[in-house]
Amino acid sequence: MYNKGTIIPGLIIFVLLITFPLWFNAFSKASTAPKIELPPGGQKECVKPAAEMRAQHMVLLNEWRDDVLRNGNRVAVTAGGKEYRKGLQTACMACHTNKEKFCDSCHTYTSVKPYCWDCHLTPSVAAAKKETN
Amino acid sequence: MKYAFSFLAVIALILIAWLGSQIPGMPYLFGVALPYLAMMIFLGGCVYKVVQWAKSPVPFPIQTTCGQGKSLDFIKHDRLEAPSTNAEVVARMFLEIVTFRSLFRNTKSEIHDGPQITYESSKWLWVFALIFHYSFLSIVVRHMRLFLDPVPAWIGWWEFIDGIFEVGAPGWYISDVGLVVGCLLLFSRRLITRHVRYISLMNDYFPLVLIFTIAVTGILMRYVLRTDIDIVNIKHLTVGLVSLSPTIGAKIGSIFFIHVFLVCVLLAYFPFSKLMHFAGVFLSPTRNLKNNSRAVRHENPWNPRILPHSYAGYEDEFREFMVDAGIPVEKELSPAKDE
């Protein structure tokens, strides 16, 4: 083999680069499997079945955003016989009050960074703001 | 027919993965065994190829120069186009790999009435290649969020820039569109340009169709066919794969197995295809050699070892025979021998 001095380091760099996830995970602390917290209030029924919500909640939220903000159509949705006004804070977070335990557990694990919180407040932050004003 | 056959091959692969993953127990084949096998073929095959290449000697500096080589002090040296030091070669290689300067020089030749041939700069290939390769890179980097646990912050920054348009939910990425469009452009270039079409083979079309299908199945999985595509469940599997303890928890939709199977085929096919240009670009003698053929003596590595043989030595060896044959010699035979 010719040019061993460059070929072998090059191949080592290549193999290390390709196996990067292998040794990255070996040297870092694995996060615990995300476990979402069910509504602390004990509500059992969501606006859609759980499987559908799990797969499509971002689509639903996007549609609601367009409906409410662009079409001014904040009609109520019913879940479990109770009516909620469309909206992340008014509907979703009325039951799923804890953002960290409900939203963030999966989002952090899979590196999903929704921009909901650029504008929205979690119930605890909203309550804190109300007090200071 | 060459391109039609590529489509047929990919459709057959999709059917294998789709039907195969329905059989109980088979998800472990498509989700665990084949990815490991494909990765080993990819790594082993690439290393083997590079070692094979490195075994071929490069006897002469055969760099292609596109500018003034290093000469007298008052002649301006084009350091990038005719590099004469290692640093200049590294700069040239870096720009070649990062910006595809060779493709930037692509020309289009046409025959007009006369007959007269004209050459015209043609940047399309360069533009298509940039779109395609950078989109591909971005997608590979973004996929690291499924393999790394915890996800490092820089992957989040990368995703943010790639999805800077913040369209829809789940967010839409520039690189997704770039890869699909890049494949379509490169494919149609091969179909539409007549002389490129003439030299295109099955192994030119097949990787393009395969990568296009991988991109489309990925996009379908993200936006359309979301049944049983639970990202947390999938990340358990992918992190398990790179922690060498893979498990498949809940059921995963077949679109995932189709996507993964096609990626496995791509990985296994990689070392034996033209896609090896990713390593070949580093080993191109026309790019990675110094333009110093006059300044440095280059010896052919397979030359036999021939020692210098002076005339004095030659005469020492054959003096007796030369005297016998009556050939004049510079040094006579020693007279002591005659007595």
CB atoms within 10 A of CB B182: 25
Whether residues B297 and B317 fall in one domain: no
Q: B301 and chain A: CB distance < 8 Å anywhere?
A: yes
Any idea what DSSP says for residue A102?
I
The predicted pLDDT at position A133 comes to 67
Chain B residue numbers touching A113 (CB-CB < 8 A): 156, 159-160
- Percentage above 90 pLDDT, chain B: 48
Chain A residue with the nearest C-alpha to that of B152: A111
Rounded CA separation A8/A33 (Å):
39
Chain A residue numbers touching B156 (CB-CB < 8 A): 111, 113
8 Å CB contact of B47 and A15 = yes
What residues have CB less than 8 Å from B191, skipping those under 6 apart? Answer: B3, B197
What residues have CB less than 8 Å from B193, skipping those under 6 apart? Answer: none
Rounded CA separation A109/B238 (Å):
13
| Number of residues in chain B | 339
> pLDDT class for A119, splitting at 50, 70, 90?
confident
Chain A residue numbers touching B56 (CB-CB < 8 A): 2
Rounded CA separation B148/A111 (Å):
10
The predicted pLDDT at position B335 comes to 65
Chain B residue numbers touching A109 (CB-CB < 8 A): 149, 232, 235
Whether residues B191 and B322 fall in one domain: no
Nearest to B264 by CA among B208, B210, B323: B210
The predicted pLDDT at position A116 comes to 86
Query: Which has more confidence, B216 or B247?
Result: B216
When pLDDT is averaged across residues B190-213 and rounded to a whole number, the result is 90
Amino acid residing at B330: E
**Statement: residue A37 has pLDDT above 90:** no
The predicted pLDDT at position B97 comes to 93
Q: Side-chain half-sphere of B47: how many Cα atoms within 13 Å? A: 14
Mean predicted lDDT score pLDDT of chain B: 89
**Statement: residue B287 has pLDDT above 60:** yes
SS3 per residue for B262-299: HHHHHHHHHHHCHHHHHHHHHHCHHHHCCCCCCCCCCC
Q: Tens digits of per-residue pLDDT, B226-246? A: 878 888 888 888 988 988 888
Whether residues B211 and B315 fall in one domain: no
Q: Which of residues 244-283 of B touch A (CB under 8 A)?
A: 244, 279, 282
When pLDDT is averaged across residues B27-45 and rounded to a whole number, the result is 92
Chain A residue numbers touching B93 (CB-CB < 8 A): none
8 Å CB contact of A2 and B230 = no
The predicted pLDDT at position B45 comes to 95
Whether residues B83 and B208 fall in one domain: yes
8 Å CB contact of B169 and A55 = no
When pLDDT is averaged across residues A110-125 and rounded to a whole number, the result is 85
Backbone angles phi, psi at B116, to 5 degrees: -140, 135
Q: Are B70 and B84 in contact (CB under 8 A)?
A: yes
Q: Tens digits of per-residue pLDDT, B53-105? A: 999 888 788 889 888 989 899 999 999 989 999 999 999 999 999 999 999 98
The total number of structural domains that make up chain B: 2
What residues have CB less than 8 Å from B70, skipping those under 6 apart? Answer: B77, B82, B84, B291, B292, B295
Locate A18 and state its tokens. 């390709």
When pLDDT is averaged across residues A64-91 and rounded to a whole number, the result is 84
Whether residues B115 and B146 fall in one domain: yes
The predicted pLDDT at position B337 comes to 52
When pLDDT is averaged across residues B4-19 and rounded to a whole number, the result is 90
8 Å CB contact of B232 and A4 = no
Whether residues B128 and B221 fall in one domain: yes
Whether residues B64 and B30 fall in one domain: yes
When pLDDT is averaged across residues B12-41 and rounded to a whole number, the result is 89
Backbone angles phi, psi at B165, to 5 degrees: -75, -15
Q: Which helix (H) or strand (E) segment is B19 a member of?
A: helix B2-20
CATH number at residue B197: 1.20.950.20
Whether residues B178 and B283 fall in one domain: yes
Whether residues B188 and B332 fall in one domain: no
> pLDDT class for A34, splitting at 50, 70, 90?
confident
> pLDDT class for B336, splitting at 50, 70, 90?
low
**Statement: residue B296 has pLDDT above 90:** no
Chain A residue with the nearest C-alpha to that of B57: A2
Rounded CA separation B264/B254 (Å):
15
> pLDDT class for B270, splitting at 50, 70, 90?
very high
- Percentage above 70 pLDDT, chain B: 99
Rounded CA separation B277/B270 (Å):
10
Whether residues B238 and B337 fall in one domain: no
Chain A residue with the nearest C-alpha to that of B148: A21
The predicted pLDDT at position B339 comes to 47
Could you list the residue range(s) of the whole structural domain that residue B330 is in? 310-339
**Statement: residue A117 has pLDDT above 50:** yes
Q: Are B152 and B162 in contact (CB under 8 A)?
A: no
pTM value is: 0.86
Rounded CA separation B53/A10 (Å):
13
Least CB–CB distance from B156: residue in A15, A33, A113:
A113
Question: A39: helix, coil or strand?
Answer: coil
Chain A residue numbers touching B152 (CB-CB < 8 A): 24
- Segment of A10-14, A111-115, B28-32, B192-196 carrying the highest mean pLDDT: A10-14
Whether residues B289 and B318 fall in one domain: no
Minimum distance, in Å, between the CA of residue B76 and any CA atom of chain A: 31
Chain B residue with the nearest C-alpha to that of A113: B156
Whether residues B137 and B283 fall in one domain: yes
- ipTM for the predicted complex comes to 0.86
